[in-house]
Amino acid sequence: MSVPCARDHVASRPTWRCRACGIAWPCSAAKVRLLAEYRGNTPGLMVYLVMLREEATAQLAELNPSAPPPDLHRRFTDWVPVRSG
């Protein structure tokens, strides 16, 4: 059995669960990887995450048409540190 590495912590669509650890994506490992990849480019990270959030909202709505998808703002974007100043 192989140990998952950071790059394996990607979303499994359309459920938006982490392929490596199975929790809601972005998981902690994915967040750390994204922060490292977008170091110095917070606006770029936010644009990317908002695009994914909208994709997840649509896909989760298709999976369960009888219930609205949860508010994914906190899950996808609220964790990104914002510098003041």
Q: Could you report the per-residue pLDDT of 16-57, keeping only the tens digit for each?
A: 999 999 999 999 999 999 999 999 999 999 999 999 999 999
Q: Report the distance separating Cα 44 and Cα 6, nearest Å.
A: 20
Q: Report the distance separating Cα 11 and Cα 20, nearest Å.
A: 9
Give the contacts of 26 (CB within 8 A, at least 6 positions apart): 9, 11, 18, 34, 49, 75, 76, 79
Confidence of residue 69 (pLDDT cuts 50, 70, 90): confident
> Which is more confidently placed, 27 or 3?
27
Q: What is the pTM of this model?
A: 0.85
